[in-house]
């Protein structure tokens, strides 16, 4: 019976509203009091039922909740025959609860959207080699699955056979489909745009990257901040205090209606709902914009950050070396480019891949007698010529003379932060290639926005050489820059900043920077939702888009401010209402409850503003 009543709270609220309208219509339009009286009495009884059940359930676990206050007040109003007051109070309380639940459901829509994107079935290879569609729960690690064009990838896995392009926007936020071939990683919840893939399941169900994203958002919205814990403690003592105040007023004044009015007006409903609404709305906004905030405690700390420390590679830079400049010292540039591309095509070194991608040569020569010189490069025979590709030390070893022009170019390339690849043909220097990691587009503007938001210290810590680090810091306008930093050096620097009283956020790629991500008050991971990023950090920029960082900081500041506003509104309304009971003649239970429920609506609407938040700078 109790469950049935609570399940139909919305219907009860609607019926109460209809009965109250009928009562007022009978009273003012037809002047027929019996119908008005009975309509208000029935509205009071059915309206107080779910409230009384919730009060009873709270008392069973030794909690004196707001429902207890309202139940006692309504029963008291019924005893003294004030059916109008009791009916209106129950309706307004139920309507306020309806608004609260609707708001919370709306702010949790980010979770529902993510959940709806999760795959529900998969084509699984059976023992006889055929493929059958099974529920996603029936897929185990090691199973072979077939993914057809237009279908969702059901699990995290490795491509065994087939090629295609996968839309990974749900994981990385990148709109351009990623090419997949045997050996490539695929993620659950992504969509195969074209082709057919056969994959081996590596992580299934809640263990997939997509599953962890959903779990993270759910945990974040359920987590309580220090402000919410304070309000819980406050409500635990506040409610009995209001009961005691009402009892004392009754003892002194012998005015039961006044005592009941105090119980109604003292309900701190707006205070209890105000902070959670702000918290859930803020986290919901972040989830929609690819920013996962792990709870409202993170919001509180992040909003006060005054120092941000950045890793370089993969954070401020794209994490992928590309050719920045090429200098040729020969007239036959076509053959030199072909020789260089032919040799580098034999290597899987990141610098070699960058050169091959940049040159994009159609004519490649067979490469013979390849000799890999450790720490130097490659020496090979190409088109009957001895071709050496590597650093300056390899050129010296090969007896290659470096002209004044070449030495000046080398010095300039190094000063600009390039890694150098030199090419000689039969002992003659033919080419100099400069390769460096490129700064993410728009990062300079994003850092300027962070400064405007109150981040005083922007610090770069990198394992790269100091010269390169200084160049990046100068280009981006950072406060400090330190190179040759090992992970333990970064952690030590971070501790020192904390000891000086700074609130520090560390932004890294979530892999080699995990000690600093865990140590900082706020760890912010780039990395497209990798395991380390999700588990170690407090904030995850799921699409590795640096421009989301100012949005995240601005959102936490707005959310923290919104929480404070709601607390002030809620406490202020209760104080005004209680003062009005003693110092005015116009205040009564119905007016007080209307103002009280109005304050709940105000804090809810104020919190919902966060759903539409966008940074101003």
- Which uninterrupted H or E stretch holds 527? none
Which two three-digit tokens encode residue 222? 């359920």
All residues at 6 or more sequence positions from 159 whose CB lies less than 8 Å from its CB, including other chains? 180, 181, 182, 183, 184, 185, 186, 197, 198, 199
> Do the strands 457-461 and 307-310 form a parallel or antiparallel pair, or are they unpaired?
parallel
The answer to whether 562 touches 546, Cβ cutoff 8 Å, is no
- Which of the residues 311, 446, 509, 538 is marked catalytic? 311
The answer to whether 501 touches 508, Cβ cutoff 8 Å, is no
In DSSP notation, 144-179 reads EEEE-TTPBP-SEEEEEE--EEEE-HHHH---SPEE
Q: Report the distance separating Cα 3 and Cα 377, nearest Å.
A: 75
In terms of Cβ atoms closer than 10 Å to its own Cβ (0-12, 13-18, 19+), residue 269 is: buried
The answer to whether 418 touches 325, Cβ cutoff 8 Å, is yes
CA distances from 504 to 102, 445, 545, 554 (A): 37, 21, 21, 16
Among 571, 602, 539, 514, which Cα is nearest to 297's?
Answer: 539
Residue that the structure tokens 């990838």 belong to: 153
Phi-psi region for residue 363, left (φ > 0), alpha (ψ -120 to 50) or beta?
Answer: beta
In terms of Cβ atoms closer than 10 Å to its own Cβ (0-12, 13-18, 19+), residue 74 is: buried
Residues, the chain: 617
Which two three-digit tokens encode residue 10? 């919305």
DSSP three-state, residue 209: helix
Active-site residue flag, 137: no
Report the b/e string of 97-134 with b at 16+ CB within 10 A: bebbeebbeebbebbeebeebbbeebbbeeeeeeeeeb
Q: Report the distance separating Cα 88 and Cα 95, nearest Å.
A: 10
In DSSP notation, 93-108 reads HHHHHHHHHHHHHHHT
DSSP letter at 478 equals -
All residues at 6 or more sequence positions from 129 whose CB lies less than 8 Å from its CB, including other chains? none
In DSSP notation, 256-304 reads HHHHHHHHHHT--HHHHHHHHHHHHHHHHHHHHTTEEE--HHHHHHHTT
DSSP letter at 475 equals H
The answer to whether 122 touches 188, Cβ cutoff 8 Å, is no
- In degrees and rounded to multiples of 5, residue 160 shows phi and psi of -90, -50
Mind telling me the catalytic residues? 311
């Amino acid at each position: 019976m109790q469950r049935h009543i609570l399940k139909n709270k919305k219907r009860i609220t609607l019926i109460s509203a209809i009965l109250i309208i009928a009562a007022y219509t009978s009273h003012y339009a037809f002047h027929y009091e019996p119908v008005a009286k009975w309509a208000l009495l029935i509205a009071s009884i059915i309206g107080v039922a779910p409230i009384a059940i919730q009060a009873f359930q709270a008392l069973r676990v030794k909690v004196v909740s707001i429902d207890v206050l309202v139940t006692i007040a309504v029963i008291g109003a019924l005893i003294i025959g004030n059916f109008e007051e009791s009916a209106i109070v129950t309706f307004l309380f139920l309507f306020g609860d309806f608004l609260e639940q609707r708001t919370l459901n709306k702010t949790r829509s980010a979770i529902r959207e993510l959940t709806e994107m999760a795959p529900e079935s998969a084509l699984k290879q059976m023992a006889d080699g055929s493929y059958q569609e099974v529920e996603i729960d029936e897929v185990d690690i090691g199973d072979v699955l077939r993914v057809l064009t237009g279908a969702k990838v059901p699990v995290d896995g490795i491509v065994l056979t087939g090629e295609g392009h996968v839309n990974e926007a749900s994981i990385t936020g990148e709109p351009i489909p990623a090419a997949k071939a045997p050996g490539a990683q695929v993620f659950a919840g992504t969509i195969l745009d074209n082709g057919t893939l056969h994959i081996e399941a590596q992580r299934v169900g809640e263990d997939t990257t997509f599953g962890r994203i959903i779990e993270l958002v759910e945990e974040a919205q359920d987590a309580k901040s220090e402000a919410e814990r304070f309000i819980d403690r406050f409500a635990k003592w506040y409610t009995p205090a209001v009961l005691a105040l009402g009892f004392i007023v009754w003892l002194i004044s012998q005015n039961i209606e006044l005592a009941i009015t105090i119980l109604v007006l003292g309900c701190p409903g707006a205070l209890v709902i105000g902070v959670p609404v702000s918290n859930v709305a803020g986290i919901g906004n972040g989830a929609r914009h690819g920013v996962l905030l792990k709870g409202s405690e993170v919001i509180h700390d992040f909003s006060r950050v005054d120092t941000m420390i950045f890793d370089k590679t993969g954070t401020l830079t794209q994490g992928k070396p590309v050719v920045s400049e090429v200098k040729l010292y020969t007239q036959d540039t076509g053959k030199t480019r072909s020789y260089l591309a032919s040799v580098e095509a034999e290597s899987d070194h990141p610098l070699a891949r960058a050169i091959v991608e940049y040159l994009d040569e159609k004519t490649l020569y067979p490469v013979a007698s390849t000799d890999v010189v450790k720490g130097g490069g490659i020496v090979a025979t190409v088109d009957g010529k001895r071709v050496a590709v590597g650093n300056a030390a390899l050129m010296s070893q090969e007896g290659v003379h470096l002209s004044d022009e070449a030495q000046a170019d080398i010095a300039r390339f190094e000063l600009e932060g390039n890694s150098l690849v030199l090419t000689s043909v039969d002992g003659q220097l033919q080419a100099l290639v400069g390769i460096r990691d490129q700064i993410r587009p728009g990062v300079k503007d994003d850092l300027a926005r962070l400064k405007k938001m109150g981040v005083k210290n922007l610090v770069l810590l990198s394992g790269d050489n100091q010269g390169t680090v200084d160049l990046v810091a100068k280009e981006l306008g950072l406060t400090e820059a330190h190179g040759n930093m090992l992970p333990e050096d970064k952690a030590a620097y971070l501790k020192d900043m904390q000891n000086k009283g700074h609130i520090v956020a560390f932004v890294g790629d979530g892999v080699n920077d995990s000690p600093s991500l865990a140590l900082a008050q706020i760890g912010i991971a780039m990395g497209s939702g990798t395991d380390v990023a999700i588990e170690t950090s407090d904030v995850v920029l799921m699409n590795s888009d640096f421009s989301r960082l100012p949005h995240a900081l601005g959102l936490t500041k707005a959310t923290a401010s919104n929480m404070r506003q709601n607390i002030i509104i809620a406490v202020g309304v209760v104080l005004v209402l209680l003062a009005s009971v003693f110092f005015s003649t116009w205040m009564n239970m119905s007016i007080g409850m209307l103002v009280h429920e109005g304050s709940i609506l105000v804090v809810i609407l104020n919190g919902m503003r966060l759903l539409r938040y966008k940074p101003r700078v």
